Structure 1
Amino acid sequence: MEITEVAEDVYEIPRSGDMRVPARVYASEPLLEKMREEGQTLEQVRNVATLPGIQKYSVVLPDGHLGYGFPIGGVAAVDMDGGAISPGGIGFDINCGVRVLRTPLDYGDVRGSEEDLVERLYDLVPCGLGKGGYVRTDRDDVDGILERGMEWMLEEGHATEADLEHCEEGGRLPGDPDAVPENAKKRGVKQVGSLGSGNHFLEVQRVTDVYDDATAAAYGLREDGVVVMIHSGSRGLGHQVCQEYIRRFEREYPDLVDSLPDRQLVYAPIGDDAAEDYRRAMYGAANFAWANRQAMTQAVRRAFRELFGTAEESVELVYDVCHNIAKEETHEVDGERKDLLVHRKGATRAFPAGHPQVPPAYRDAGQPVLLPGSMGTHSYVLAGGERSMELSFGSTAHGAGRLKSRTQAKKDYTAGDLKQRLRGEGVYVKARSGATVAEEAPGAYKDVDEVVRVSDRLGIGTKVARMRPVANIKG
C-alpha cells in the first residue's frame, strides 16, 4: 500500500480505486510501524474512505488499531446531504467513554488506605458481566434514561446540575426509546452503575505532573491531587442496539453489502428510515452510558465519604467525554461551512478554546480531553488543540491503543505476577477475573506517552496534566 509522509507525524494514503478521499494517518514513525505490522489498520482506514459523502479524508489517530469495519482511533465526517451512517464507525459499545472526578484530597491523605479504598469501590460498583448496577432500575426507568440521559439522573436525585454542565452534550442526545430494540432494553434493566468487563475500569489516580498551570487550574487539577477516572459505556444495551441494526442494514441493503470492500462497513443512507431509526436508538444508548457513568460517580462519592469523611459534593466532575459516537456538527471544508455527521470510533472530541460547544466553565481554556493509559501506566488530561478542527474534525486519540490481542496477552502475562509487580509499584488492583488482568496488562498496549506526544505536537490535543494509578478495579 502506498503511503507518503506529508508533514511531521502526518502520513497520507492517496486516493485510488473506490476511495472518495485520501486517508490520513497521524502517527510517529514507531506508531506507524506498529500499524504496518498489524496489517489491517491501514487497510481499514483506506476502506472507510469509500463511504458516500465522506469529506476531506478518512482519519486514523496515533492510537489506531484494528476494529470492526473502521479502525479503532478512526474518524470519518460525512455530509448530511448524501452521506451515510455506519454502525462500524461507532462501535458495539455505544458511548464508551471516560470521566474524571476531582477530589479535595492529596495523595498523602489516601496513602496507606489504598487497599481499603480498592475493596470498598469493588464492593459498591458491580463488575463483570450481568452483575447488577449501583442504581436500581426497572423497565420504565430504562425508557426514561434512553430518552433523557443525565436529565433523568438529575430528576431522580442521582446527579447535580454541575454534573450535567460538565458532560459532553450535557449528557443527553435526542434518543428515542421506541427505536431501541426490546431485547436491548431488557439487557439494560439493573445495569445502571455497572463497570462491565474487558478494558473498562475505575481507577483512583494521583496527579504527578502539570504541564499547563493555567489550564490545569481551570480544570481544578493540581499536582499531587487525587482524582478518579471511570471508563465504561452502554453495557449490553448498546451492544444489542448495534448488533440488531447491523442485521437490519444487511437485510435492507443486500446489494450494498455485496459491493463493499468490507461488509463490516455496512451503512444506511442518511434520511432513510433505517438510518434515522438507528441514529435515534444510538443516541438512546449514549444517554444510557452517561447515566451508567453517573451512577458509578455516586458510588465513588459514597466510598470517599465513608473512608475519608469527604462531603459528597466535594467530589466534583471535571468532564465526561464519549469516544464511540456519531454526531451532527458543523465544520469548514474547502472554505465552506457544512453540516456533517462525524463518526468517532475510539476517538475523543477535542474542541479548542472558544468553540461554542465547549462548556462555559472551560470555553477560554478549551474542552478537557480525557485520555487513559493502561493499568499500571500514566493517563492524561489534555485540552482541545487549536489545529484539531483543521486536521481531525475536532478529534484526538482516546487512549493508548491495543498492541496485543487479548488472546496473546493471556499467553504472555499471568494475573498473579502482574498484580504482585503493580503492588510493588504502589498500584492496588482488584478484578473479578484473573484473565481480565492478564488481557489488560500494560505490555498489551502501546506507549501512551508517545501517543500523547504526537497529539500535542500536532496541536490536536495539548498536554495539561499526567496521572499515575493508585488503585484500580476491573471486571
Structure 2
Amino acid sequence: MSTASTETTLASPAATVRVIASPQSWVEGEAVRQLEAVARLPGMKAAVGLPDLHPGKGAPVGAAFTSEGLFYPYLVGNDIGCGMGLWDVGMLARKSKAERWASKLEVEGPWNGDVEGFLAEEGVKPSGFEGALGTVGGGNHFAELQRVDAVHDARAFAELGLEADRLLLLVHSGSRGLGEAILRAHVDRHAAGGLVADSDEARAYLTRHDHAVAWARANRALVARRVLDGIGAPARRVLDVCHNSVTPRREDGALRWLHRKGAAPADEGPVVIPGSRGALSYLVAPVGDGTGSAYSLAHGAGRKWTRTAARERIKERFTAESLTRTSFKSHVVCENKDLLFEEAPQAYKAIDRVVTDLVEAGLVKVVATLAPVLTYKTRSREE
C-alpha cells in the first residue's frame, strides 16, 4: 500500500490518525491497520506513522502516540530506552584501518572495567543486568564507524563541532535484558492494558522506565568506549536520543503522554537517521514546532521484509561472505549467519526516500550524509 500523508478521525474515542509518507513510499496495509487499532484504545488522542512505519508485534514500529489519562507500556515495548548516540572520533577518516579493525574488534561479553564506577560517572544506578552493559545486542542494533559523505548545511554542521575529514561513530542499542524484564512484569499483570496515569502502579512503572532509559544511554556510551579502545582513538559524544519511551507532555492545557515506538524525538535537537549497513545515514535537524508529527521523526529506514522473508529471499541470491562487504566497500562484522541475512540492506526501505518524505513534510533539514566504514553487529554465532 502506498499512501500519501493522511488524516482521519475514528469513532469514539476520537483519535487523529496520520501517516506521514509520500505516494512514492511503500507503507504496508498491516502497519496502517495496527496504527488505527492503537488509535481506538481508551484515552488515545493521536496516532502518527512516520515514513519508516512497518508492522510490529501488536503495534507498529516507526510511530508515535499521544494519550490522556492513561498510558500504555506495551507501546514502548521491551527495549525501553533504545536509541542512538553519535560520537565525533579523534581520527582522520583517511587513516581508518577498516579491514584490520574488522578482524580484531570485539564488543562482546561482560566489560572487564569498573562497572560501578562507570555507571556512577553516567549518573545511573546499577540494574542487576550489568553483565550485558556495553554490548550491542541482537536484532537491528549496531555500532558503526562512519565517514562524512557530504555536508549539506555547513553552519549547522560546524555548530555541532564536527569536521568533514574525521570519523564518526554511531551506536544503536538499548537497555538489553532490563527493559525486557520491566515489560514482562507489566504484561504478566496487565497484558496489553494501560495504566491510569495518576496511580501507584503508573508511578512505579515510570520509575523503572526512567531508570532503563538512563541505563540504555550508559550502555551506548560503554559500547562506544569499547569500540574506541579497540581502534585506539578518543571521541566526544555529540548527541544521544531515545526512540522507545513514554514521556509526559503538557499540550492544549492538558497533561498528555507521548509514546514513541521506533521514533526519534523532534524536540531535542539534531538526530541521525540511519539507513541499512549498506546505505547512507542522515544527520538531520528538526524544523517546525513538531505538532503535526507528535514531536517525532523517523528513526531509520524501516523494514521492508520480515526477518523470515529476508532470510529466505537473500540466501537465494547472496552468500554470507558476500554480505560482509557493502557497495561502499565498508566491512561488516556479523558472525551470526541468520542475522547477517535478516539485516541485509535489501531487507530495508530506501533511506533516501524516508528522509525526503520528512523534508517534503517540512519536518527536517539535512545537515550531512554519513557513509559506513565498519559496521559491528556481533562475534557470536547465536543471538
TM (norm. structure 2) is: 0.91
> Are residues 105 and 275 of structure 1, via their aligned partners in 2, closer, same or farther at CA, if it must alter by over 3 Å?
same
Specify the alignment match of 2:64 in structure 1: 75
Measure the CA separation in 1 of the matches of 2:261 and 2:285.
Answer: 19
Deviations 1:35-66 (A, max 9, x none): 2xx332111111221233333x2111110011
Specify the alignment match of 2:381 in structure 1: none
Measure the CA separation in 2 of the matches of 1:422 and 1:101.
Answer: 23
Q: Percent identity?
A: 32
Unaligned runs of 5+ in 2: 379-383
Report matched runs for 1:122-161 at 5 Å: 123=106, 125-126=107-108, 131-133=109-111, 135=113, 137=115, 141=116, 153=118, 155-156=120-121
Deviations 1:312-354 (A, max 9, x none): 3xx11110001000111233xxxx3433221011001112xxx
Is the contact between residue 20 and residue 52 of structure 1 (CA under 8 Å) also seen in structure 2?
A: no
Query: Secondary structure of 1:381's match?
Result: strand
> Are residues 271 and 135 of structure 1, via their aligned partners in 2, closer, same or farther at CA, if it must alter by over 3 Å?
farther
Is the contact between residue 402 and residue 445 of structure 1 (CA under 8 Å) also seen in structure 2?
A: yes
Q: CA deviation at 1:381?
A: 0.9
Residue-pair matches, total: 376
Specify the alignment match of 1:46 in structure 2: 36
Q: CA deviation at 1:417?
A: 4.8
C-alpha RMSD of matched pairs (Å): 2.4
> Which runs of 4 or more aligned residues in structure 1 lie more than 3 Å from their structure 2 counterparts after TM superposition?
133-137, 152-156, 414-421
Specify the alignment match of 1:381 in structure 2: 283
Is the contact between residue 320 and residue 340 of structure 2 (CA under 8 Å) also seen in structure 1?
A: no
Partner of residue 101 from structure 1, selected from 42, 65, 87: 87
Report matched runs for 1:295-310 at 5 Å: 295-305=222-232, 310=233
Deviations 1:282-339 (A, max 9, x none): 112112111111111221332232xxxx4x3xx11110001000111233xxxx3433
Partner of residue 119 from structure 1, selected from 80, 103, 116: 103
What letter corresponds to residue 353 of structure 2 in structure 1?
Answer: E
Q: CA deviation at 1:198?
A: 1.2
Measure the CA separation in 1 of the matches of 2:350 and 2:326.
Answer: 21
Greater fraction helix: 1
Is the contact between residue 278 and residue 326 of structure 2 (CA under 8 Å) also seen in structure 1?
A: no
Q: CA deviation at 1:444?
A: 0.4
Measure the CA separation in 2 of the matches of 1:462 and 1:244.
Answer: 40
Report matched runs for 1:335-350 at 5 Å: 336-350=252-266
Query: Secondary structure of 1:29's match?
Result: coil
Report matched runs for 1:250-329 at 5 Å: 250=191, 264=192, 266-305=193-232, 310=233, 312=234, 315-329=235-249
Q: CA deviation at 1:134?
A: 5.8
Greater fraction strand: 2
Q: CA deviation at 1:153?
A: 3.5
Are 2:13 and 1:27 equivalent residues in the alignment? no
Partner of residue 301 from structure 2, selected from 392, 396, 400: 400
Specify the alignment match of 1:364 in structure 2: none
Specify the alignment match of 1:220 in structure 2: 161
Are 2:372 and 1:445 equivalent residues in the alignment? no
TM (norm. structure 1) is: 0.74
Measure the CA separation in 1 of the matches of 2:112 and 2:38.
Answer: 39
Unaligned runs of 5+ in 1: 142-151, 160-170, 178-184, 251-263, 352-357, 359-366
> Are residues 277 and 120 of structure 1, via their aligned partners in 2, closer, same or farther at CA, if it must alter by over 3 Å?
same
Deviations 1:89-119 (A, max 9, x none): 2111111110111123332121xx1112233
Specify the alignment match of 1:256 in structure 2: none
Partner of residue 58 from structure 1, selected from 47, 63, 80: 47
Measure the CA separation in 2 of the matches of 1:223 and 1:339.
Answer: 42
Measure the CA separation in 2 of the matches of 1:72 and 1:136.
Answer: 36
Query: Secondary structure of 1:190's match?
Result: helix
Is the contact between residue 328 and residue 372 of structure 2 (CA under 8 Å) also seen in structure 1?
A: no
Report matched runs for 1:422-433 at 5 Å: 422=325, 425-433=328-336
Q: CA deviation at 1:135?
A: 4.5
